[in-house]
Structure 1
Amino acid sequence: MSVNNISFILHKPQLSENIGACARGMKNFNFQKLVVVDPKPIFPNDKILATSVGAKNIINKAKSYENLERSLKNIDIVIATSARFRNKNIKHIQLEDLKKINYKKKIAFLFGSEASGLSNNEVSYANYTLQIPTNPDFKSLNLSHSLIIIAQYVSSILNSKVSSFNKSNKVKSASKKEIVAMANLCIQNLEEINFFKSKEKKPIMLENLRNIFYRMELSTKETRILSGVFASLGKKR
């Protein structure tokens, strides 16, 4: 288990101060990998660097992407943070459930923008949603505060060197990049047969498809098989 397997993704962060504070919080618990997706302020900038204090190296090494899907190409498990319960068929977990995660894989914690959090579309890319227990009458947490709580908890798990994950080493789990490629192949074939006839329903149908694929925890072999099936169906038309 290694801190190098953990990434913190800030999706559409709005305030430079929060980005800097997140980097500082990461360094407090020895995490190094920061990812920003479509940030509102110019990234990096002087305010971000100033707020990060001693964590400028994390800002300087951070990766920036235009969209969420690209940021997940090398990730195995995505855990989306959310202050509200989602009426979706997705695994909802609490902080204590993080002990069951396999930290030998590449894990990403996904945080939404300060104003609106994560949309259902963005959550559909996740394997799990994580809710931090708070006052039920006041659930809103500052972005950097949420990150720090999770960073501290995960750090304590990694330092305890306790892992209950006993999956066979012969079974290689599919990466997010492989699953995204498979899902996109399926969607491409569906579009070619005009499956998404209703433009209004298409976004929610795409969300549901991603939810199905991402929560299945497919192996690399299973992903290759499904990709072959989708490719064959496309050729037969």
Structure 2
Amino acid sequence: MLTSNITFILHKPQLSENIGSCARGMKNFNFNKLIVVNPKPIFPNDKILATSVGAKNVINNSKNYENIEKALKNIDIVIATSARFRNKNIKHIQLEDLKKINYKKKVAFLFGSEASGLSNNEISYANYTLQIPTNPDFKSLNLSHSLIIVAHYVSNIINSKKFPFKKSDKVKSASKKEIVAMANLCIKNLDDIDFFKTKEKKPIMLENLRNIFYRMELSAKETRILSGVFASLGKKR
């Protein structure tokens, strides 16, 4: 089933009740892949299991990672949710644009913490940012409410079995793991030649580099070629 290609990632969730409610909302729409990244409460715990109600299996089968890179290692497309418009060269999409996503690939929806949402650094790992339309004077949505809106919308798309996205089956898209490895190799070589001379500017430069790599939607072959180029440049020194 295409729902098995969908993963919901909660980045630094702070409340046990919200984690449990997210699992419950996922199961309502037949999704079962949950990842939590560096959660504040002990994971799992009794409160999470209690608020998940009949979705304890989603919690029990979920994965817990310490950082976002490890969470994305088997993902092809990352869609980050944000109530704020980011002044970044990244594709900003609306709910209706989710119809254009290829759900035959491994797709992850990334949600930020209840207190601060997603930082620009975390957004830089995404292919797209998604904004849920709300009252412009009151944009903040509860974490589980945001997830349920997305889950409901994507479930309707998948069940309609209409996919306008077409691409040659011979072209294999690079996984997030492959792109992260390539990007890290590039960054290591740049570090070795002291490219980031102004240390305070390094974080924003790294964000921009990741935005470039992820926005390109590289194939696995292209990623291998670029990795080879970066490795060769490193050896030439």
Residue 194 in 1 paired to residue 194 in 2? Answer: yes
Partner Cα separation in structure 1 for residue 4 and residue 229 of structure 2: 35
Partner Cα separation in structure 1 for residue 18 and residue 166 of structure 2: 38
Partner Cα separation in structure 2 for residue 165 and residue 129 of structure 1: 19
Partner Cα separation in structure 2 for residue 166 and residue 155 of structure 1: 20
Deviations 1:70-97 (A, max 9, x none): 0000000000000010000000000000
What is the aligned length? 237
> Where do 5+ consecutive residues of structure 2 fail to align?
none
Name the SS for the 2:200 alignment partner: coil
Shift of 1:165: 1.4
Q: Which amino acid aligns with 1:115?
A: A
Q: Which amino acid aligns with 2:4?
A: N
Shift of 1:130: 0.1
Map of 2:79 onto structure 1: 79
Partner Cα separation in structure 1 for residue 11 and residue 129 of structure 2: 15
Name the SS for the 1:201 alignment partner: helix
Partner Cα separation in structure 1 for residue 3 and residue 62 of structure 2: 15
TM-score by length of 1: 0.99
Map of 2:47 onto structure 1: 47
Map of 1:222 onto structure 2: 222
Q: Which amino acid aligns with 2:173?
A: S
Map of 1:114 onto structure 2: 114
State the superposition RMSD in angstroms: 0.5
Shift of 1:198: 1.0
Name the SS for the 2:199 alignment partner: coil
Map of 1:58 onto structure 2: 58
Partner Cα separation in structure 2 for residue 143 and residue 49 of structure 1: 17
Name the SS for the 1:22 alignment partner: helix
Deviations 1:28-51 (A, max 9, x none): 000000000000000000000000
Q: Which amino acid aligns with 2:57?
A: N
